[in-house]
Amino acid sequence: MNAILQMQKVGLTYHTPKNETLAVTDLSFDCYDGELLGIVGPSGCGKTTILSLMSGILTPSQGEVLICGEKANCQSGLTGYMLQKDELLPWRTIMSNVLLGLEIKKCKTAQKIEYAQSLLQKYNLYDFKDFYPHQLSGGMKQRVALIRTLVLEPKLLLLDEPFSALDFQTRLNVVEDVYSIIKSEGKSAVFVTHDISEAISLCDRVIVLTQRPSRVKDIIDLSPLKDYTPLKRRELPVFSEYFDKIWSNLQTTKEKNDEIRKT
């Protein structure tokens, strides 16, 4: 299988006047074409940092981040980043929010606009294209944000806990929506979360990280679940097995860390 994303011994150090912090170190893994790769880790382990590295906003201190064989670069348009909140601009209509990326990239062609319209249509948002964000529900806004990312036709989607701002019920629905959107558009995605069950219900493979400085602790293969949608997966008996596996992985990293702190 083709690797869309290659992380090769990636490390990043943050510098502030008072301190330098090693956020991630020696991080190596790939994300394959058409794969939904989950990254789970204890809070504060630098998950957002990892996505910023992949999108090219941050340059690694060590190692290399390759997207389709090229060094990650935020101008390349190979990655599409979806943030925690929808971040729709309140003074723009839904349509013009969706077209924001095209405007910035200066490629707002008739063809692309048509593509944007078809995406809105496909995901039941076309009737709302002239509405303003505050007139839409949280789940709808999150879908608009996803379409804003998809319009740019990125090779790799980067999802930074995109459901954490939603209430539980909306969340289950939006996870379902996002899953089907990503699968039907044939995209690859890296999905970062601290919610274990969300990771299991959405992903093909889950990487468990250690606490800061984060390293890969374990990689869990979820391919046996690949024929089930997120909601269906939650009903499967193996769901809790996977949950326990990831949970204990996270626990051991925590305990180890606590021990280090004690000594």
Contact set with another protein (CB under 8 A):
55, 57, 74-75, 77, 79-81, 83-85, 87, 89-91, 100-101, 103-105, 124, 131-132, 134-137, 139-140, 152
Q: How far is the CB of 127 from another protein (least distance, A)?
A: 9
Distance in angstroms (rounded) separating the CA atoms of residues 40 and 51: 12
For another protein, which is the closer residue by CB, 127 or 241? 127
Q: How far is the CB of 154 from another protein (least distance, A)?
A: 10
The candidate with the shortest Cα–Cα distance to 204, out of 242, 150, 259, is: 242
Q: How far is the CB of 105 from another protein (least distance, A)?
A: 6
Distance in angstroms (rounded) separating the CA atoms of residues 153 and 171: 25
Q: Which residue shows structure tokens 């909306």?
A: 170
Q: How far is the CB of 134 from another protein (least distance, A)?
A: 8
Q: How far is the CB of 233 from another protein (least distance, A)?
A: 24
SS (H, E, C) 143-196: HHHHHHHHCCCCCEEEEECCCCCCCHHHHHHHHHHHHHHHHHCCCEEEEEECCH
Length of the chain: 263
Provide the phi-psi class of 87: left if phi over 0, else alpha when psi is between -120 and 50, else beta: left
- DSSP conformational letter for 71: E
Four-residue CA torsion sign, 237, 243, 246, 247: negative
Supply 250's token pair: 């996270």
For another protein, which is the closer residue by CB, 93 or 252? 93
For another protein, which is the closer residue by CB, 81 or 242? 81
Distance in angstroms (rounded) separating the CA atoms of residues 115 and 101: 13
For another protein, which is the closer residue by CB, 134 or 262? 134
Q: How far is the CB of 220 from another protein (least distance, A)?
A: 28
Q: How far is the CB of 129 from another protein (least distance, A)?
A: 13
For another protein, which is the closer residue by CB, 14 or 251? 14
Distance in angstroms (rounded) separating the CA atoms of residues 207 and 50: 12
For another protein, which is the closer residue by CB, 62 or 96? 96
For another protein, which is the closer residue by CB, 46 or 101? 101
